[in-house]
Chains A and B, each alone.
Chain A
Amino acid sequence: MATDTQPATHSDAAHDDAHEEHWSDLSYIKLAIALALVTALEIAMSYTIGFWGPLFIPVLLLLMVVKFMAVVLFFMHLKFDNRLFSIMFYMGLILAIVVYFIALLTFRFFDA
């Protein structure tokens, strides 16, 4: 089959993949420091649960999502890469979230 050897017909996709935006090493170091600070905040929160009250879990989950997305978008370059890569990854991620959220609902996990 010629599918793997023929020149690209989707020139836009090829263009996107070839000309992804590049960060400097310093930008990555700054992001890593920011992520380390967010982690430090999470740890500090776990020692001061009483202070945060009912906001403790929502804020902790929010910080977790921020760290997760920062690594995916910038360290893994998904923000700059072709959309098809994002679709491949988010398809699995969203499917996992929906399936296991329903599974946990079925087991009455959120009732308490």
Chain B
Amino acid sequence: MADTAVHAATDHGHDDHGTHHTTTGLSNNKLAMWLFLGSECLLFGGLISTYMLYRGRHSENLGPDQLWDIPFTSASSFVLLMSSLTMVLAVTAAKRRDDRNTSLWLTVTAMLGALFVAGQIYEFTVFYREGLGFTTSLFSSSFYTLTGFHGVHVTVGVIMLLSVVGILMKRRTGEDKSELVEMVGLYWHFVDIVWILIFTLVYLIPA
């Protein structure tokens, strides 16, 4: 009896039917991740609000209208949006216990994320050369803080994705890693939805 119970449950605390051995019957890890993402809304809400308040506080020649490169930022947005697609493909592959495709899509997602971060670093470099430092104006401080925080989140996401790929490569036993991939996927999609807000509110709506 005891042996049967032990074999029925995997190392993630749920049995072969996906039922979790918790008081709610749900995965505590997943519940915690959603709670964390809910709290992140408050962090980014504060940063976006601060930017909205101070976006007009700049010198005449160093404002959004002079600096923004919409085609370039649009390409970056497209890259991040497509990374959400590759992430969801990784999650579905993980649910099928298809380790090969899971690793493939996770790696593609990490590469797209790295490309986005590279684009952001390039954009920051261009702005800095134009004379927009972190303390140049209230506009620049709030802009760099908001987009910088987002960039750090993407970077952390890339590290998480590559870590999961490493775990999958290390343990090629066909065991269920779908919850782990799903956790990273939730975080990654959140980073994408924050950029959806930033792209519209910061870049597309004129100051």
Q: Which A residues are within 8 Å of any B CB, using their own CB? A: 3-15, 17-19, 22-23, 25, 28-29, 32, 35-36, 39, 42-43, 45-47, 49, 57, 60-61, 63-64, 67-68, 71-72, 75-76, 82, 84-85, 88-93, 95-97, 99-100, 103-104, 107, 109
Contacts of B40 in A (CB 8 A): 92
B182 to chain A, nearest CB (A): 8
Any chain A CB within 8 A of the CB of B136?
Answer: no
Q: Which of B147-155, B160-168, B185-193 contacts A (4 or more CB under 8 A)?
A: B185-193
- Which of A9, A32, A64, A88 is close to B25, meaning CB atoms less than 8 Å apart? A9
Contacts of A100 in B (CB 8 A): 45-46, 48-49
Q: Do B197 and A17 have beta carbons less than 8 Å apart?
A: no
Contacts of B199 in A (CB 8 A): 39, 42
Q: Do A104 and B53 have beta carbons less than 8 Å apart?
A: yes
Cα distance A104–B17 when bound, in Å?
48
Q: Do A96 and B41 have beta carbons less than 8 Å apart?
A: yes
Cα distance A42–B74 when bound, in Å?
10
Which chain B residue shows the least CB distance to A23? B92
- Which of A18, A49, A75, A95 is close to B88, meaning CB atoms less than 8 Å apart? A75
Tell which of B28, B49, B197 has the most Cβ of chain A within 10 Å.
Answer: B49
Any chain A CB within 8 A of the CB of B77?
Answer: yes
Any chain A CB within 8 A of the CB of B24?
Answer: yes
- Which of A29, A57, A61, A75 is close to B189, meaning CB atoms less than 8 Å apart? A75
Contacts of B193 in A (CB 8 A): 68, 71-72
Q: Which of B78-86, B115-123, B126-134, B137-145 contacts A (4 or more CB under 8 A)?
A: B78-86
Q: Do B204 and A42 have beta carbons less than 8 Å apart?
A: yes
Q: Do A32 and B84 have beta carbons less than 8 Å apart?
A: yes
B137 to chain A, nearest CB (A): 17
B32 to chain A, nearest CB (A): 9
A87 to chain B, nearest CB (A): 9
Chain B 5-20: CB-based contact to A (< 8 A → 1; otherwise 0) = 0000000010001111
- Which of B42, B84, B201 is close to A95, meaning CB atoms less than 8 Å apart? B42
Q: Do A88 and B92 have beta carbons less than 8 Å apart?
A: no
Which residues, 40 to 68 on B, are CB-close (under 8 Å) to A?
Answer: 40-42, 44-46, 48-49, 52-53
Contacts of A85 in B (CB 8 A): 26, 30-31, 34
B115 to chain A, nearest CB (A): 16
